[in-house]
Structure 1
Amino acid sequence: MKKLNRLTFLIGSLLILAACGTSTSDPEPNNDEQTDNEQENTEVNLWDQIKESGELTVATSGTLIAASYYDEDDQLTGYDVEVVKEIANRLDLNVSFEIMGIDGMLPAIDSGRIDLAANDIEPTDSRREQFNFSEPYKYSYSTMVVRESDYSEIHSLADLEGKRAGGGATTIYSQIAEYYGAEVVTYGNAGNEAYLRDVSNGRTDVVVNDFYLSTFGVAAFPDFDIMIHPDLKFHPTEQAIVMRKGEAELTDVINEVLAEMREDGTLTELATQFYQQDASIQQEDDIEELDPEIEL
């Protein structure tokens, strides 16, 4: 019983985001030109810097079963974590994980504090304008966690109007909820128990999130008045590794390793281990597309 309680607690932690020189005969570049040159040179050299240091620095949350979490031995694991570990292993690199909330990951990449982020992150059009993404290593779709007793009075995306939705401040799921009229209640890098308890007790009405992650969260709390909405499957998604914009060489290297892992079955093996089904392949379910006017 003690071990079962320990496992439930762990599952509850789910969830729920060099300047270029000039010759003396050349005119001095203005500040904007210097900034552009510095950024370009940094981008070109990042993969070389990683090889020289022998280490990848990677942001992840550590609270997102089954993507990124701490197991019973307090070891960081999960599908995203193990995919990154395997990439580093095949590149003969060490990997150092930095634990942070989803809202801090993309700024940390942009500032150069970390090399990559791996935390079930979706490469939307707006994010692609600011960051590079690997090829997808996970495919899924969005759903809702609602109260089992009354469906939280939600039977369609339009029914989010006026509801309270638990979520991270900058996640795609919160953007979806807001677009359809929900008020988003934010939690930071909180565990899944906080999100799901609030739906159960009526403080909030719904959690919009990834199908696989939501399934694990609901299963962890059988005494809560919650369920995966049986009728709502929407917004097919891909998840990928994030890195700074312009890092073409690093992106190519990671994509080559991911392609090897897909071809030799490693992605399928890891996805099945953590999700009990192959989340590394595209879904064949009938999944509703979002309103085309929504900009994610």
Structure 2
Amino acid sequence: MRLRGDLLVVVMCFIFVLGGCGQTSNNAKDDTWDQIKEEGKLVVGTPGTLYPSSYYPENSDELTGYDVEIMKEVGNRLDLNVQFEELGFDEMFAALQSGRIDVAPAGLRGNTKKKFSYSKPYKYSYATMVVREDEVDDFTSLEDLDGKIAGGAATTVYSDIARKFGAEVKTYGNVTNDVYLRDVENGRTDVVINDYYLQMLALKALPDLDVTIQPDLKFYRSNQHAVIEKNADRLKEKINGSLTDMKQDGTLTKLSEEFFAGEDVSEKPEENIRTIEDID
């Protein structure tokens, strides 16, 4: 069942996954682009439940969002039809490995960087915490996570950060962000760590919740990429060319301002942001 558009609010990073072509070994010929071009279709993995990156507006059956519209525009510039496969975050990389999809929007870390290739960034951000309004002063540093319960997906970097600083992580499947935030409000969890822009929009969409962003904590710079199979160099070149043109002609800025309340996430933030050691 699809929820109302104003409740479809983000938690994660999304992943563009190029599949359908299978994987190539390190020495295999890169024929991914030829196969995609011949089929005339690019298959993109996306959650479909995460506002404003991938969601269904209220009373609409048409998928939209920042990541969705970027991939539609990339497809248009490459003369390809874009087909979306709705998948939870934890399913994305497995779908890419199996060849079920061709691309997915996501940040990359750890072994993921070695297993896949990825485009230049089209979104820059950093992490923040959502906590109960009357407990803002209880979270003045990351070290205050010790002993707390954090809501998150099982394999995200945000859950890794929570665990690193001593929090227990309550994991969720492919749910909308109102579920995470309501659990903070009702005390089932204490905190949600996630992308700043997504948290900001989530709170705007759910103004009645007694939760807020801790304003003084900014940490873990993150980038969003189009993730593809390891040796698909020509496809990577095509996607990067489209993203470069979209930045230069203002398309990325226009889409960002449309979906992020006037903010340009295609520009690097200048804030003083804490780096976290041993978190990739």
TM-score, normalised with respect to structure 2: 0.91
Tell me, yes or no, if the aligned pair for 1:166 and 1:204 is still in contact at 8 Å: yes
Alignment pair present for 1:108 and 2:103? no
Q: Which runs of 4+ in 1 moved over 6 A?
A: none
Between Structure 1 and Structure 2, the one with more helix by share is 1
Which residues of structure 2 form unaligned runs of 5+? 13-22
Which residues of structure 1 form unaligned runs of 5+? 1-7, 18-36
Equivalence for 2:18: none
**SS of the residue 1:64 aligns to:** coil
Return the offset for 1:195.
0.3
Alignment pair present for 1:65 and 2:65? no
Tell me, yes or no, if the aligned pair for 2:184 and 2:211 is still in contact at 8 Å: yes
Q: Which whole-Å CA distance do the structure 1 matches of 2:208 and 2:134 have between them?
A: 12
Instruction: Supply the AA of the counterpart residue of 2:242.
Output: V
The superposition leaves residues 224-281 of structure 1 with CA deviations (integer Å, 9 ceiling, x where unpaired) of 1100111111111111111111211111110011111111111111111111211101
Match of 1:11 among 2, 6, 30: 6
Equivalence for 1:135: 120
Please report the RMSD computed on the Cα atoms of aligned residues, expressed in angstroms.
1.7
The superposition leaves residues 13-46 of structure 1 with CA deviations (integer Å, 9 ceiling, x where unpaired) of 22346xxxxxxxxxxxxxxxxxxx9635866111
Q: Which whole-Å CA distance do the structure 2 matches of 1:251 and 1:151 have between them?
A: 43
Equivalence for 2:25: 39
Equivalence for 1:237: 222
Q: 1:152 to 1:163 in 2, by over 3 A?
A: farther
Match of 1:56 among 42, 52, 67: 42
Equivalence for 1:295: 279
Return the offset for 1:152.
7.6
Q: Report sequence identity in percent.
A: 49
Instruction: Supply the AA of the counterpart residue of 1:65.
Output: Y
Looking at CA atoms only, which structure, 1 or 2, has the larger radius of gyration?
1
Tell me, yes or no, if the aligned pair for 1:68 and 1:77 is still in contact at 8 Å: yes
Q: Which whole-Å CA distance do the structure 2 matches of 1:152 and 1:224 have between them?
A: 18
TM-score, normalised with respect to structure 1: 0.86
Instruction: Supply the AA of the counterpart residue of 2:256.
Output: A
Aligned length: 266
Q: Which has the higher contact order (CA 8 A, sep 6+)?
A: 2
Alignment pair present for 1:179 and 2:164? yes
**SS of the residue 2:133 aligns to:** coil
